[in-house]
Structure 1
């Protein structure tokens, strides 16, 4: 996986880009102003920074994402898992479940996900 890093303010910006897919930069400036309270210069600076990092493309005044939300979420999840739990999903789940109460439905959904993973490994 490439080195994807999206900071908090950039993530809020990317939410807009992901929702709009291909968006005119002028329209994006207006959306960022109304949703994020950003000035025009802030939006264009963010577009430029994210373009340099290969996360968005600004071509002919159309801004398009090059990295999906799912890719960013997976990278962030993996980074947090590595940082806080030495990469151990088991350690994360043990710690999380000791502090959180899940509904029976949530537990069954997690069990189903784990069962699917077991099937993949068994094949």
Structure 2
């Protein structure tokens, strides 16, 4: 997937697809009309754009994802840390913590995660 940030409306649209996939494109049009007050043309325009970006596919006319919601947001998190903190996870965590304390359980979970992912 290319580096791509969804707009607020694209994100809401993507959430509808992820929640309901696989979904017929006609059913998606009806859902978008109900949930987002979109016309058929708007739904198909945005769907085409996100298909071109490699996030979804529309085949036989069934819409499904090419990447999962979790994978998309994981990539966005990586881009955020790279763009905002120069790729430094410690700088990100310091800013994220903002002086807060971790519970003993949270600290243990982080230690375990670090051990599982550190280079040897």
- Please confirm whether the aligned pair reaches a TM-score higher than 0.5, indicating the same fold: yes
Contact (CA 8 Å) 1:23, 1:62: kept in 2 or not? yes
Give the corresponding residue for 1:13. 13
Give the corresponding residue for 2:2. 3
Cα gap change, 1:26/1:102 in structure 2, threshold over 3 Å: closer, same or farther? Answer: farther
Give the corresponding residue for 2:27. 27
Contact (CA 8 Å) 1:82, 1:88: kept in 2 or not? yes
1:7-32 CA distances to partner (integer Å, 9 max, x unpaired)?
A: 13212111111122211011111222
1:16-56 CA distances to partner (integer Å, 9 max, x unpaired)?
A: 11122211011111222222232222211111111222221
User: So what's the TM-score if we normalise by structure 2?
Assistant: 0.82
Give the corresponding residue for 1:78. 78
Q: Unpaired segments of 5 or more residues in structure 2?
A: none
* Higher relative helix content: 1
Q: Unpaired segments of 5 or more residues in structure 1?
A: none
Deviation of the 1:92 alpha carbon:
0.4
Q: What is the correspondence of 1:53-64 to structure 2 with a 5 Å cutoff?
A: 53-64=53-64
Q: Which runs of 4+ in 1 moved over 3 A?
A: 99-108
Residue correspondences, number: 119
The CA RMSD over aligned residues, in Å, is: 2.0
Q: What is the correspondence of 1:106-117 to structure 2 with a 5 Å cutoff?
A: 106-117=106-117
User: So what's the TM-score if we normalise by structure 1?
Assistant: 0.81
Q: Match of 2:27, SS?
A: helix
